[in-house]
Amino acid sequence: MAKFNKKKSGDLPAISTASLPDIVFMLLFFFMVATTMRETTLKIENKLPYADQVEKLDKKDLIMYIYIGKPQEAFQGQYGKESRIQLNDKFADLVDIKSFIAAERASKREELVPFLTVALKVDENANMGLVSDVKRELRKENALKINYTTKKGDISENR
Amino acid sequence: MAKRSAPEVNAGSMADIAFLLLIFFLVTTTIETDTGLNRRLPPIDDEKVEPPIIRQRNIFTVLINGRNQLMVEDELMELKDLRKAAVEFLDNGGGTGEDACSYCKGKKDPNSSDNPDKAIISLKNERETKYGMYISVQNELVAAYNQLRDRRAMELYGKTLKEMEANYNDVNWVGNKETLKERIERIKIEYPQKLSEVQ
């Protein structure tokens, strides 16, 4: 009675992986939406300090970023180990801040210029001397709205 | 001839493609921090303006030295005590007559500040001060202001300032935003943030 041969073997049926792409796509979309591309490549160490009385910065297009910190190891041969300023993608000196601010202002619509904020992203191990110099330059350029960018956390984590 | 159905496209490798994209995004993106302490720098004035005379007792000097030690009003202080000291100074209300402060709950010490409007915190640092320490101190001082403002807001309106500001920014909040704005302004005028960062 070949007709009634048992076709089934004892094995478990394979789990369908047809919905795996859906799951992965879901994750993919989450990451695409939740993250933003970093606009500048950091050439310095930038470990931000912690603070808990923080305010949120909105209007991301109206922020000018100034990075300060020790050059990363790959650049230490060229630029030394002292804290440096980074504007956009390259190392800069104090005198470059003036042209940087002017360029940023020129790239924005005129009515938005008064709302421009300078975000100081300073490494927690940087010295205040350089930060003070930067602040003095900003005052000269009349860029008075500043923000010390920090991570949200307890200040006891600052060492 | 029998009708032939179109062969099905094999979707088995779809997962691999999606994984590839996922890993690419995971690696290339960082979640940017966009929180921080907002400050306003004083403008550089060209004309010689007579600086206003500020009485010594209305100034609260905080100095951070190159070894990250804290000196408050000429005395060494630990960071954890700073917030309390700042609150005591701001809320002292030692003024009389015109300078009297009706809402202060401080000790009314005649050697400390007259009222929150007159009280100025002066933060000084040396060139060798670490930025992390500087931010810690700024954070404590801002916390002192926030604490007083919240206390006053609770007294007057039964809500903290943070809640009021959240309501103000909330589109779905039902209520009069004009009055809410006035209330927020009032609190900010009663405890103005007068924090000077001396170079």
Q: Which amino acid is at A98?
A: K
Structural domain containing residue B101: 57-197
What is the DSSP secondary structure assignment for residue A47, as one 8-state letter?
-
pTM greater than 0.95 (yes/no): no
For the ranges A31-45, A131-145, B126-140, the lowest mean pLDDT is seen at: A31-45
Q: Residue A105: what are its φ and ψ, rounded to 5°?
A: -65, -40
User: Would residue B188 count as lying in a domain?
Assistant: yes
Determine the average pLDDT of the residues in B178-188.
86
User: What confidence score (pLDDT) does residue B46 get?
Assistant: 65
Q: How far A16 CA sits from the closest chain B CA (Å)?
A: 10
A38 at B interface, C-beta within 8 A = yes
**pLDDT class for B16, splitting at 50, 70, 90?**
confident
Q: Which tokens hold the place of A122?
A: 């300073």
Tell me which chain A residues have a C-beta less than 8 angstroms from the C-beta of B14.
21
Burial class (CB in 10 A: 0-12, 13-18, 19+), B103: middle
Tell me which chain B residues have a C-beta less than 8 angstroms from the C-beta of A56.
34-35
User: For B122-153, what is each residue's pLDDT tens digit?
Assistant: 888 888 888 888 888 888 889 998 898 888 88
ipTM, two decimals, is 0.74
Domain A50-153: CATH architecture, name and number where available: 2-Layer Sandwich (3.30)
Report the percent of chain B where pLDDT is more than 70: 93
Rounded Cα distance, A71 and A73, in Å: 6
Rounded Cα distance, A40 and B196, in Å: 32
User: Would residue B170 count as lying in a domain?
Assistant: yes
pLDDT beyond 80 at A158: no
**Chain B residue with the nearest C-alpha to that of A68:** B131
Q: Which amino acid is at A143?
A: A
Determine the average pLDDT of the residues in A81-105.
88
CB pairs under 8 A between A and B: 161
Rounded Cα distance, A62 and A143, in Å: 12
Contact call for residues B106 and A125 (beta carbons, < 8 A): no
Q: Which amino acid is at A128?
A: M
More confident residue, B184 or B31: B184
User: Would residue B6 count as lying in a domain?
Assistant: no
User: Would residue B51 count as lying in a domain?
Assistant: no
pLDDT beyond 70 at B199: no
User: Would residue B76 count as lying in a domain?
Assistant: yes
Total domains in chain B come to: 1
